[in-house]
Amino acid sequence: MESTLLSQKIKTDRELIATNTFELQMAKMPELMKRYSARQLDKTQQDIRYHIQFLIEAVSAKSPVLFANYLLWLKEILDNLGLPPEDLKMSIHYLADTLRGLYCADYEQDIAPIINDGLQKLEITEVHTETFLKAGLAHTELAKRYLAALLTGDRHQANEMIQAAVKSGIPIKEIYLQVFQNTQYEIGRLWQIDQITVAQEHYCTAASQFIMAQLYPYIFTVPNQGITVLATCVGKELHEIGLRMVTDLMELSGLNTYYLGANVPTASIISAINQEQADILAISATMTFHVSEVKALIDQIRTVEGGQDIKIMVGGYPFNIDGNLWKHVGADGYAADSETAVLLAYDLAKRS
């Protein structure tokens, strides 16, 4: 079966798959019923659903690294909670058994290589994500003090630090790349290793967006080069601060941006492309399980008037995991970070 059709089949059957996998795991590991609380058993079922979500994207894109990366992410979370990874490994084995029974030949050809690669990496890979605020970078100390202020809930102090840095002559671009960007990466890492809560992550992100906005009087003074970039997050993707940083740096580099943000219907994106006569569409996806939505959006844009010629660039975490994923979704290129995105936009504009 073609990979996209198979992934859609798994998506349609995911509740059946999740139920069968959980029941199989409980039958094979009855001690879990005694060892786990009712809440932990519910969490186990939810985790199986997440396994399936990430597997769907990996199957659709024929990308084992997407699923393996997800499993290693879970492994690091378990390590930091002091929990052994054996239950995770067994859950994946039982998921494999369920899928093998449902899809037979398709399983062996298109699913087994992805699951087996993930299980192999779980066995051989030591997971330890290093800090993004490394010594030796020009503004690491500022970034550390900025993050410390945010984590104590003092956005006013954090804002004063940034304003003082600008007045001292530090370029806006360096503040974005070495303070805002690296701090957001570090916040994500701290959440991943269970050092901060979801509430803290949300507060820090919202505070940084507010502080970034205070710099707009500096950013929007750069002469426009006549190239318009329309920027949007895909579908239900709510992680928009990365795209906001990209568009701010684009403005600082002379590009005209039309920022749509998150939760924008496809019809509205298409309408905006034509209304703004955009040269480039920038699409962001942070969560791996939104990759298929990126592909669906691009496929639809390519079928309408004005959508065939626009250059499309993509970015976000899953595209950094698999450097060829941008080709799968039908984009014209991808950028690994904010600085690269500016360079790519100018390059795509030359090709339009």
The string of pLDDT tens digits covering residues 2-48 is: 888 899 999 999 999 999 999 999 999 888 888 888 898 898 899 99
H/E segment holding residue 149: helix 140-151
How many residues are recorded in the chain?
352
Q: Rounded CA gap, 28 and 15, in Å? A: 20
C-alpha distances out from residue 26 to 35, 47, 90, 117, 273, Å: 11, 14, 11, 25, 51
Q: What is the token pair recorded at 100?
A: 């093998």
Q: If you average pLDDT over every residue of the chain, what do you get?
A: 92
Checking if the pLDDT of 285 tops 70, the result is yes
Q: Rounded CA gap, 146 and 45, in Å? A: 39
Q: Rounded CA gap, 222 and 218, in Å? A: 8
The string of pLDDT tens digits covering residues 161-182 is: 999 999 999 999 999 999 999 9
Q: How confident is the model at residue 235 (pLDDT cuts 50, 70, 90)?
A: confident
Q: Rounded CA gap, 327 and 151, in Å? A: 38
Q: Rounded CA gap, 325 and 340, in Å? A: 17
* pTM: predicted TM-score of the whole model, two decimal places: 0.91
The string of pLDDT tens digits covering residues 66-84 is: 999 999 998 888 887 777 7
Q: How confident is the model at residue 305 (pLDDT cuts 50, 70, 90)?
A: confident
Q: DSSP characters for 151-199?
A: HTT-HHHHHHHHHHHHHTT--HHHIIIIIIIHHHHHHHHHHHTTSS-HH
Q: Identify which has the larger pLDDT, 153 or 30.
A: 153
Neighbours of 27 (CB within 10 A): 9
Checking if the pLDDT of 1 tops 70, the result is no
Residue 84 confidence (pLDDT) = 79
Is-contact 78 115, C-beta < 8 A? no
Nearest to 160 by CA among 177, 176, 178, 142: 142
Residue 263 confidence (pLDDT) = 86
Three-class secondary structure assignment of 277-299: CCCEEEEECCCHHHHHHHHHHHH
Checking if the pLDDT of 85 tops 90, the result is no
Would you give the DSSP letter of residue 310?
Answer: S
Residue 33 confidence (pLDDT) = 83
Q: What is the token pair recorded at 271?
A: 């309408």
Is-contact 224 256, C-beta < 8 A? yes
Q: Rounded CA gap, 50 and 348, in Å? A: 36
